[in-house]
Structure 1
Amino acid sequence: MSKFTHKIKVPCSSANIGPGFDVIGLALNMYLELDVGNDPSQPPTPLNCKLSYEGVSPEGIDLDPENNLITRTAFTHQKSYPARSRSGSSGAAVVAGALLGNLLGKLNLPKERVLDFILMVERHPDNVAAALYGGFVGTYLNELNPDDMARIEVPLSEVLPQPAGGVDTGLRPPIPPENIGHFRRFVWNKELKAIAIIPDFEVSTARAREVLPKTYTRQDMIFNLQRLALLTTVLSDSPPNPNLIYSAMQDKIHQPYRASLIPALPAIISKITPSTHKGLCGICLSGAGPTILALATENFEEIAKAAIAMFEKEGGIKCEWKLLEPAEDGATVVEV
């Protein structure tokens, strides 16, 4: 029996938050936890590690180290290290994998440098900066060298390429430049809680990107920029202004186009409002979906039930819901 020596704990994150497409992210207090230990008795494996998993939908978790997002991100060649994870999103998995590589490789990289490596796998800084640093963040990513980004060793912006053994060119990926991702933490009003309504189906990030247009009108871009400029401030106001927050969370860049993948989305966003549901301040698609994120100060269960009823009406889709708060500490690595 192996002895776990370290625990990596990474909060999940919600990205976009209405008009903040690929810009703002929010870390929430639901965590991916990775227990890491050394077990020399384990037989060698391609990546010299063994995975086990406890959490929701275990049938959907690939425990092959060459396929699993956490171990492929870490890509460590150590003695046999077992890892056990519980819950989380792909953004959290990439962050956990980078921290695992930093730990097992004894690289001692600060979080600032770890973020550079994370962004060579997951090119959406809103998701990963929130998970790594915690809180409510705004982000941007520097333009990267096109020649470097074209190399097969560098992942696509949505997912890692084929399993590690299938794309081995014998070359190392380029070392990322320093400070390629930038973030700023905004103030969050602690009166606001996050209701996550989680439908029982999946939407791949790649598919959610495919439905977006290649170009946007000037009017739609101005619509989002105006609301984003207000949103990052009004979410700190106390007491919160429900009508202003609700209006500032409207979007014309991604939610209208993803409605084809999430049938209840238009009804939820238009019919669950501060005037119809006491305590509601804003509601939007979380990241690429299909999870819905509602911000509220009270009446949480009734707001969740209203969204769940709309999913049920749109084809009998079942949902669960969770009441969450911002995770201020971000990702941690501790000895146990």
Structure 2
Amino acid sequence: MTSLLGRTVDVRVPATSANLGPGFDTLGLALSMYDELEVTALEPGRVEIEVSGSGAEEIPVDASNLVVRSIAHVFADAGVEMPGIRLIARNGVPHGRGLGSSGAAVAAGVLAAKGLLEGVVELDDAALLRLATELEGHPDNVAPALFGSLTIAWTGERGPQHKKLLVHRGVSPLVLVPGYTMSTKAARSLQPEHVPSEDAVFNVSRSALLIAALTQSPEVLLDATDDRLHQDYRAPAMPETSRLVRALRAEGFAAVVSGAGPSVLVLCDGPGSRLEAARIADEVTDTPWIPRMVAVDVRGGTVRERAEGPSSQS
């Protein structure tokens, strides 16, 4: 443990948008909004936390902090005594808006632990995804937060798995962020346990098409982002979000609820289209929407040791 004391790592993780319409609990996209953290190993038992940016006033500053709990989970899994933690977090991922803030916190904690444990315990990509999924409950947000770009995530006999795909350069994401929040738990509670078989078949076809649209054929994004499994069921909990998605799709934009909402993700075909979609958002609902013209993050989460010596990036 003595060798870890004073070790500092810098971590950066992107926002993510899950589902992307039909890819419920499976597809995720990393976006260029970031949480940035500085994590230092202290004497066991000490916890010092400073948080700025989105959600700062609501985030715990003790051992219950999600990043700290995620670090502790990795140390416990590795069988290494947990050090004390000094955490300085600058949150650029909007909280409670369907942009993967909890997944980003979990990914940040897992990556921070990887950096702190470098030279003691080595964690590969499979271990990172397994540990993050154990904490988050499902891999659709943590996979793109860890690995970047477009990810397909699933759980099989070998545990959580992912496949990373590069997004066609013609895809230009726009995120429309409202002033209100939405609980993921509340959104999930509206989801029925069973759906009609024709709706399941509909979503299977659209999910397959969406992979082609995002990687090869952006011109079919509108059809490819259609959904019957979750967005309509959740619409009563966020009527302004639903109204905006319908208005944008009526104008030919591939708009979907981002994650559990209430943000809206629009997969545009260029800067001009993004400006037009933002204009529509400004006109069709009573809710002010903050347009974020982002890029697809291709790198995913990174961790780098600040001290001299070897560094680690993932």
TM-score, normalization by structure 1: 0.78
1:5, distance to aligned residue in structure 2 (A): 2.7
The partner residue of 2:226 within 250, 253, 265 is 250
More helix by share: 2
Q: 1:329 and 1:101 mapped to 2: Cα distance?
A: 19
Structure 2 residue 165 is the aligned partner of structure 1 residue 186: yes
1:14-163 superposed matches below 5 A: 14-38=17-41, 45=45, 48-65=46-63, 67-75=64-72, 78-87=82-91, 88=93, 89-105=101-117, 106-142=120-156
Identify the residue that residue 219 of structure 1 maps to in structure 2.
Answer: 198
Give the structure 2 partner of residue 147 of structure 1.
none
C-alpha separation between the residues in 1 aligned to 2:267 and 2:121?
Answer: 39
The reply on whether 1:326 has 2:302 as its aligned counterpart is no
For residue 3 of structure 1, report the CA deviation from its aligned partner.
7.8
Q: Which moved more, 1:282-291 or 1:75-84?
A: 75-84
Shift of 1:305: 3.1
SS for the counterpart of 2:239 is coil
Checking the alignment, whether the CA contact within 8 Å between 1:17 and 1:24 is kept in structure 2 is yes
Aligned with 2:111: secondary structure?
helix
What is the CA–CA distance in structure 2 between the aligned matches of 1:80 and 1:272, rounded to whole Å? 49
Matched, 1:198 2:177: yes
Classify the secondary structure of the residue corresponding to 1:235. helix
* Equivalent pair of 1:119/1:125 in contact (CA under 8 Å): yes
Q: 1:251 to 1:54 in 2, by over 3 A?
A: same
> What TM-score, normalized to structure 2?
0.83
Assess if the C-alpha contact under 8 Å between 1:283 and 1:295 holds in 2: yes
Q: Shift of the alpha carbon at 1:4? A: 7.8
Distance 1:189 1:195 in 2: 15
String of CA shifts for 1:287-312, please: whole Å, max 9, x gaps: 00111000112322331232243342
Instruction: Output the CA distance in 2 between the equivalents of 1:253 and 1:265.
Output: 17
Rounded to whole Å, the distance in 2 between the matches of 1:102 and 1:4 is 12
Pick closer, same or farther for the CA change 1:235–1:116 going to 2, 3 Å.
same
Aligned to 2:192, what secondary structure does the other structure show? Answer: coil
Two-structure CA RMSD over aligned residues (Å): 2.1
The amino acid of 2:159's aligned partner reads I
Identity of aligned residues (%): 32
Counterpart residue identity of residue 334, structure 1: R
Q: Which residue pairs with 1:271 in the alignment?
A: 247
Structure 1 residue ranges without an equivalent (≥5): 144-178
Q: Secondary structure at the match of 1:125?
A: coil
Paired residue total: 283
User: In the alignment, residue 73 of structure 1 is paired with which amino acid?
Assistant: S
Q: 1:322 to 1:3 in 2, by over 3 A?
A: farther
Change (3 A) 1:226 1:79: closer
Q: Give the Cα–Cα distance (whole angstroms) in 2 for the partners of residues 39 and 113 of structure 1.
A: 25
